[in-house]
Structure 1
Amino acid sequence: MSDINRPCIRRCSLNEEEICLGCFRTFDDMLRWNKASVEEKQEMLNIAERRKMEHAKK
């Protein structure tokens, strides 16, 4: 499996929970991204997508 590109859309703005309101990754996810395995990156993206959907409901 090939690597996964960063989901950054260059609209970084961290909320009070240190979640980026651009890509919905946590600050910790961003720091870990380059060393994470493809599986770990995919899991981060899955969780970020759920956060994005929850944010949209607010």
Structure 2
Amino acid sequence: MIESPCIQVCVIDPASRLCTGCLRTLDEIAAWSAMPPETRRRIMAELPARKPRPG
């Protein structure tokens, strides 16, 4: 099974263009299954920094 950050909350924020559930871009989501594991791991490591900051 391919590791994924998907949490089944698939809503794209119009301002950031990121999924509010997994914080990936539409392009990343679309290409996810074809990406090499190293690329998926790199993106998953970047996701916490994409989380919106309060305020």
TM-score by length of 1: 0.77
Tell me the CA shift for residue 49 of structure 1. 1.6
Name the counterpart of 1:5. Answer: 3
Q: How many residues of Structure 1 are paired with residues of Structure 2 in the alignment? A: 54
Give CA-to-partner distance per residue, 1:2-58, whole Å, 9 cap, x none. x75111111111012320000101111101110111110011112222102xx0334
Structure 1: segments with no counterpart, 5+ residues: none
TM-score by length of 2: 0.80
- Percent identical pairs in the alignment equals 28
Structure 2: segments with no counterpart, 5+ residues: none
Higher helix share: 1
Runs of 4 or more consecutive aligned structure 1 residues displaced over 4 Å after TM superposition: none
